[in-house]
Structure 1
Amino acid sequence: MSILLIEAFYGGSHKQLMDLLKGEVDGCVLYSLPAKKWHWRARTSALYFMQAVPPNDTYRVLFTSSVLNLAELVALRPDLAKLKKVLYFHENQLVYPVRKNQERDFQYGYNQILSCLVADIMVFNSAFNMESFLTSIGTFLKMIPDHRPRDLERLIRPKCRVIHFPVQFPDVSRFLPEHKRLLQQNRSYSLKSSEASFKSSDELQKSTTEPSHLPKLSLSEQDPIPQSTELISTSLREDTSENVNLVMSEPSSSTLRADSQRPLHIVWPHRWEHDKDPETFFKVLRKLKEMELPFSVSVLGEMFTDVPEIFSKAKAFLGSAVLHWGFLPSKDDYFQVLCQADVVISTAKHEFFGVAMLEAVHCGCYPLCPKSLVYPEIFPAEYLYSTPEQLSKRLQNFCKRPHLVRSHRFQGETVPYSWAALNSEFRSLLSAQPSEDL
């Protein structure tokens, strides 16, 4: 055992990352606390781990998330202070949204700044996360009434780097409907060659910034689809408010005709909390309902103690449009719903990465995300909207013409965010010997 993993909030993406590292990287031992009462984990988990983690001379690296106050832990446990200390930021508390600014607890952001000062390396899951944290340090510390520390961004920035969250994309082929299976087969060889090409961080950065190299079939290469091409061209001309780039692919005319009988299936796979802005999502759905447009919806994601009231109200007015409602503990059940869905929506006010959106895209969903936060870093512009009104117009069009999304091939990449692409960077990060790129 040479790598000590500590997770103060062992749930969601925090749990996914720790389980992945423990399972894939030799020499890891994990100590954790359940994903409950986040605020108390941030306040007191260092004291718990001081007692829970036994001394061990074989430890060389300490890897933890920014929920833990690392400064407190290494002060309480000087033996751990000697290790190579890696701090991973799934989110940052300097810009984490609160309903009112006076509700922001200074202590949580302050803990993260202290942790950065004692850590050897800080890793962020996105450039947006890193820059929003670093550039907010000065403003955040102005909350201190006097005798404020200075130049902390200058001290912290050189130790920071971005390594995207490594998603383990499962094989979902057995769950895919026919039209998605055909689209997936059309691009499968490209994905395999893409995974093989990720040998260095330079190649990874290039792949996340350059346009997709996936092949696009010309209309002459496809099965004849009576009236479909003309209808798509007409609908795109009608949808002048958005730059929608929809690419036809392999599904046959019989498949499309069968699919046209099903209403558009919308999925919202996020935590049931205010920062994911469920109010905007359900307001858009209410508009679709009032227009008597056909759609069905699955509202997934984890629920915690305080569920916003909007969820019970929304379930009532959505009525028979609801296909699935609530958290699905079985991963197979979860991915099966994503595979059956057509469009995945984010209305988040806060998102530093967005595993759920990438998982849904992997399952063949058409993503619609805010043109803000981390999303422009991950998704091409055609999948971004600027206002709830733009989101509503896109969904209105898709409800009327569901074949638009069912015949669409995603024009971005998911491979750069996979464990296959990122595992070498994490192995280097967890190496006891500092490498040149650190």
Structure 2
Amino acid sequence: MWLLSAYRADSHAAWADWVVESRPDLKWTRRELPGRHFSWRIRGNPLSWLDALPEHTPDLILATSMVDLATLRGLHPRLAQVPAWYYFHENQFAYPVSPRQVRSVEPQMVQLYGALAAQRLLFNSAWNRDSFLQGVAALLRKMPDAVPAGVTERLSHACEILPVPVPPLAPEARDPRLILWNHRWEYDKQPELFTRAMLALARRGVDFRLALLGPRPEPVPRALATLRAALPGRIVADGRVDRAEYRRLLARAGVVVSTTRHEFQGVSMLEAVSAGACPLVPDALCYPEQYPAAFRYPVGDEDALVGRLAHWLTNGLPMAPDVSDWLAPALTSRWQALLTPPF
């Protein structure tokens, strides 16, 4: 069995490692490319692997949606009849574009062709599936002619929801006033909104502490620099830490906050919530599938975000929601059944 991942970033890497470790009885062949140079990776992976694929023909190909599966099959005709399952960690139809980027149809077409070349399409959330199918339909409506009928219907019949299994964390002695940020400090996660909310919370005189985790680019993002300058006494952790310390901080946190513009599953949020942290998330994306309304605020509404945090920190936190359906104990059997021959 081949596992192909063209972008070994943090969450993709954790998924690939878990899948292989969950079925040690299978003979795996892995090909992965580093999680950098996105535009080259999503378009160039068949060329990168041109002479790097094994000579044997596998029984099954499990490929992420960063893999240009259609081109790969074309360059290696012996793979044309091999069953292929396409796993969507994300989809390029719903991924926000940076102000520094020019939107290109190329990544979308790679995923559309890849989906058409696969037998099963696996998504980590219903939001991921729905936004992909809606994006395909919207793209094809823009085309001038020669568009076949029923493309989205054909794809929808192959779709299944199968989240990335999140290993649960054991709770520790909780600090109910510890607010956790464990996301990338980049445009799509909107750290500026988080920073403004933390400054507003401090102006209200609310007692809280901050754990500022997650990858950060160089130079230091303005949102992070502002928090460091304005609230140095409240910051108890700042930076990427080793896995043991990361898990410890997640298990201690009282609240974990998201301000993101996109989220297809939200693994980092689920990790913290599995240990008992209260999530506060935008009322959009994958979050309505995961968290009751009491843990969601209107998208982009800074006042609502600050008001909910102030209420919780002043009057006591609610009980964290049950996310067991998204955790490894509930999902392991489904993944193992999926990966049981015959394919």
- TM bracket, shorter-chain basis: over 0.9
1:354 aligns with 2:262: no
What CA distance in whole angstroms lies between the structure 2 residues aligned with 1:119 and 1:137? 16
The superposition leaves residues 128-155 of structure 1 with CA deviations (integer Å, 9 ceiling, x where unpaired) of: 1101111221212345455445432022
Gapped regions of structure 2 (runs ≥ 5): none
Partner residue in 1 for 2:178: 265
Greater displacement, 279-288 / 77-86: 77-86
Tell me: CA distance 1:264–1:420, structure 2 relative to 1, closer, same or farther (3 Å).
Answer: closer
Tell me: CA distance 1:301–1:294, structure 2 relative to 1, closer, same or farther (3 Å).
Answer: same
1:71 aligns with 2:66: no
The aligned runs of 1:20-39 (5 Å cut-off) are 20-25=18-23, 26-27=25-26, 28-39=28-39
What CA distance in whole angstroms lies between the structure 1 residues aligned with 2:219 and 2:80? 37
The superposition leaves residues 224-271 of structure 1 with CA deviations (integer Å, 9 ceiling, x where unpaired) of: xxxxxxxxxxxxxxxxxxxxxxxxxxxxxxxxxxx7xxx821001111
Partner residue in 2 for 1:429: 338
What CA distance in whole angstroms lies between the structure 2 residues aligned with 1:307 and 1:35? 21
Match of 2:325 among 406, 411, 416: 416
Match of 1:339 among 239, 251, 255: 251
Give the CA deviation at 1:305. 5.8
| 1:6–1:30 contact (8 Å) kept in structure 2 | yes
Aligned length: 339
| 2:180–2:257 contact (8 Å) kept in structure 1 | yes
1:17 aligns with 2:18: no
Partner residue in 2 for 1:53: 53
Partner residue in 1 for 2:202: 289
The amino acid across from 2:10 in the alignment is G
Give the CA deviation at 1:298. 1.0
What CA distance in whole angstroms lies between the structure 2 residues aligned with 1:331 and 1:115? 34
Gapped regions of structure 1 (runs ≥ 5): 181-258
Tell me: CA distance 1:101–1:49, structure 2 relative to 1, closer, same or farther (3 Å).
Answer: same
Partner residue in 2 for 1:138: 137
Give the CA deviation at 1:282. 0.7
| 1:60–1:84 contact (8 Å) kept in structure 2 | yes
The superposition leaves residues 180-199 of structure 1 with CA deviations (integer Å, 9 ceiling, x where unpaired) of: 5xxxxxxxxxxxxxxxxxxx
| 1:61–1:432 contact (8 Å) kept in structure 2 | no
Percent of residue pairs bearing the same amino acid type: 32
| 1:63–1:85 contact (8 Å) kept in structure 2 | yes
What CA distance in whole angstroms lies between the structure 1 residues aligned with 2:277 and 2:35? 29
The superposition leaves residues 80-104 of structure 1 with CA deviations (integer Å, 9 ceiling, x where unpaired) of: 2222101000111011112469832
Match of 1:274 among 187, 192, 204: 187
Give the CA deviation at 1:36. 1.6
1:323 aligns with 2:323: no
Q: What's the TM-score, normalizing by structure 2?
A: 0.92
The amino acid across from 2:86 in the alignment is L
Partner residue in 2 for 1:90: 89
Match of 1:303 among 210, 216, 234: 216
Report which of the two structures shows the higher radius of gyration computed on alpha carbons.
Answer: 1
| 1:22–1:29 contact (8 Å) kept in structure 2 | no
What CA distance in whole angstroms lies between the structure 2 residues aligned with 1:415 and 1:88? 22
| 2:168–2:275 contact (8 Å) kept in structure 1 | no
| 1:122–1:160 contact (8 Å) kept in structure 2 | yes
CA RMSD of superposed structures (Å) = 2.1
Q: Which of the two has greater helix per residue?
A: 1
What CA distance in whole angstroms lies between the structure 1 residues aligned with 2:100 and 2:225? 27
What CA distance in whole angstroms lies between the structure 2 residues aligned with 1:337 and 1:164? 24
The aligned runs of 1:184-203 (5 Å cut-off) are none
The superposition leaves residues 46-91 of structure 1 with CA deviations (integer Å, 9 ceiling, x where unpaired) of: 211232121114x201101101111111111122222210100011
Partner residue in 2 for 1:394: 308
| 1:70–1:118 contact (8 Å) kept in structure 2 | yes
What CA distance in whole angstroms lies between the structure 2 residues aligned with 1:331 and 1:74? 38
Give the CA deviation at 1:29. 2.3
The superposition leaves residues 281-336 of structure 1 with CA deviations (integer Å, 9 ceiling, x where unpaired) of: 111011112223221111111234676432223322222211111222x2110011
Q: What's the TM-score, normalizing by structure 1?
A: 0.73
What CA distance in whole angstroms lies between the structure 2 residues aligned with 1:61 and 1:307? 43
The amino acid across from 1:64 in the alignment is A
1:384 aligns with 2:276: no
What CA distance in whole angstroms lies between the structure 2 residues aligned with 1:37 and 1:318? 34
Tell me: CA distance 1:352–1:266, structure 2 relative to 1, closer, same or farther (3 Å).
Answer: same
Partner residue in 2 for 1:373: 285
Partner residue in 1 for 2:79: 80
Q: Secondary structure at the match of 2:333?
A: helix
